[in-house]
Amino acid sequence: MKTLLIIGAIAGAGSIVVADTASFALSVSSLPRYETEVSRLDAEIAAIEERLQTAPRSSLDHEKASVAFEERARLTGGFADYASAESLLVRAFELAPAGAGPFLTRAALHYTMHRFDEVEADLAAFETKLLLNTRERAAIAGLRGDVAMQAGDFVLAEELYRRSILLRKDMKSVARLAMLMTRTERWDEAERLYREASLAYHGGRTYPTAWLLLQRARNARMRGDTDSALALCEAAERAFPNWWITDVERAEVLAARGEQHEAIALLREATSGRERPELERRLAALSKLAGDERSARNYERRADAIDARWAAVFPAAVHAHGATDHTHGHGHAHAHEPAHENGHHAQAQAGHSH
């Protein structure tokens, strides 16, 4: 069977060209799957935890462990891993010298958990370092752009994102700008930038590639090109098989096409064994559209129960889950983004200020 490859061209009114190619005919079984990547992170976290047993007073090792838990949380959607990441960062600050600690890493976690008003203080503290390298300066500009986008200041966000790209052009900096283009309905520019971000990725893992394909799918869906969106979802599935986030985007595409029952089935599969209140509420909305009020009430109750379990730990994120429409949930876009393309240990090293 030939493999379909997205060749990244825009044709006609924004449709994505999909071509058959034998040169891309990697078997799905040879590609890293979602389960394989989670197992790798499980082993990595276990090794870090073992190292912490022998060096329990290492602030940097606690930060590395925190970043590993957050990366696994991004893959699995598990709040428990975010809670572990949070507690490890608390310990990292306790062990760091006075006035030092992983400020940049904590700023990024603040953003992920929707604590937008707490990001700037950590970025300002991190900037007190005598010498900031280019990677760190780009990360600071990017995070400030993220906060500006959440505040609806799209002009400032674009300025900060472009500054980040000038400092360090990599997958993450370019993808941030692409997401802003989608947010402001500049569909063609978003597509171009997502393809540019793909070319800027040089890591060895496949899930960042799948993530970029899903962002392109979302961009295509929101501009009304559901055929291209479905093709991009299929490409993401081939790049990184069995990722639940792919099912979420595919479900949104099906819902946009009016295929509510198929969308509900996919979302139910994506939420199985996973606590994602925003997806439960999306299921409730789709069930209402399908005329199933009883199921809609059940999904709402499940969402409320999940919120209640985690409200004390992550109140800002819980509030966002209750307030954000998943169909246009830009506030959740970064919640599923991959870790730094050159590895999360590099991110941990960059985030630690002494």
pLDDT given at position 331: 35
DSSP bridge partners of 4 = 20
In a domain, 117, yes or no: yes
Residue 75 has pLDDT above 80, yes or no: yes
Average pLDDT over residues 298-303: 97
Residue 339 has pLDDT above 50, yes or no: no
In a domain, 145, yes or no: yes
> Tell me: the pLDDT tens digits for 154-163?
999 999 999 9
pLDDT given at position 241: 97
* Percent share of the chain, pLDDT over 70: 80
Buried-state track 290-328, b at ≥16 Cβ within 10 A, e below 16: eebeebbeebbebbeebbeebeeebeebbebbeebebee
Distances (CA, A) of 130 to 133, 160, 274, 282, 353: 10, 22, 43, 47, 10
Q: How far is CA 284 from the centre of its chain?
A: 23
Buried-state track 246-278, b at ≥16 Cβ within 10 A, e below 16: bbbbbbbbbbbeeebeebbebbbebbeeebbbb
In a domain, 157, yes or no: yes
Is 239 or 29 the better-scoring residue by pLDDT?
A: 239
Average pLDDT over residues 121-142: 95
pLDDT given at position 330: 34
Q: How far is CA 174 from the centre of its chain?
A: 14
Residue 88 has pLDDT above 90, yes or no: yes
Confidence of residue 343 (pLDDT cuts 50, 70, 90): very low
Residue 24 has pLDDT above 70, yes or no: no
Residue 122 has pLDDT above 80, yes or no: yes
In a domain, 66, yes or no: yes
CATH number of residue 183's parent domain: 1.25.40.10
In a domain, 184, yes or no: yes
Confidence of residue 337 (pLDDT cuts 50, 70, 90): low
pLDDT given at position 32: 82
pLDDT given at position 313: 79
Residues in the chain, overall count: 354
DSSP bridge partners of 5 = 19
78-82, 212-216, 235-239: segment of lowest average pLDDT: 78-82
Average pLDDT over residues 281-298: 97
206-210, 263-267, 348-352: segment of lowest average pLDDT: 348-352
Beta strands in the chain (DSSP E): 3-11, 15-21
Q: Which of 3, 55, 8 is nearest to 194 (CA)?
A: 8
Average pLDDT over residues 174-188: 98
In a domain, 171, yes or no: yes
Confidence of residue 130 (pLDDT cuts 50, 70, 90): confident
pLDDT given at position 353: 53
Residue 27 has pLDDT above 60, yes or no: no
Confidence of residue 203 (pLDDT cuts 50, 70, 90): very high
In a domain, 39, yes or no: yes
Average pLDDT over residues 178-191: 98
Residue 325 has pLDDT above 50, yes or no: no
Residue 89 has pLDDT above 90, yes or no: yes
pLDDT given at position 322: 53
Query: What total of structural domains would you count in the chain?
Result: 1
In a domain, 190, yes or no: yes
Confidence of residue 318 (pLDDT cuts 50, 70, 90): low
pLDDT given at position 9: 31
DSSP bridge partners of 18 = 6
Q: What is the pTM of this model?
A: 0.84
Residue 31 has pLDDT above 90, yes or no: no
* Percent share of the chain, pLDDT over 90: 76
Rg of the Cα atoms in the chain: 20
Confidence of residue 328 (pLDDT cuts 50, 70, 90): very low
Domain span including residue 122: 34-205
Average pLDDT over residues 24-30: 43
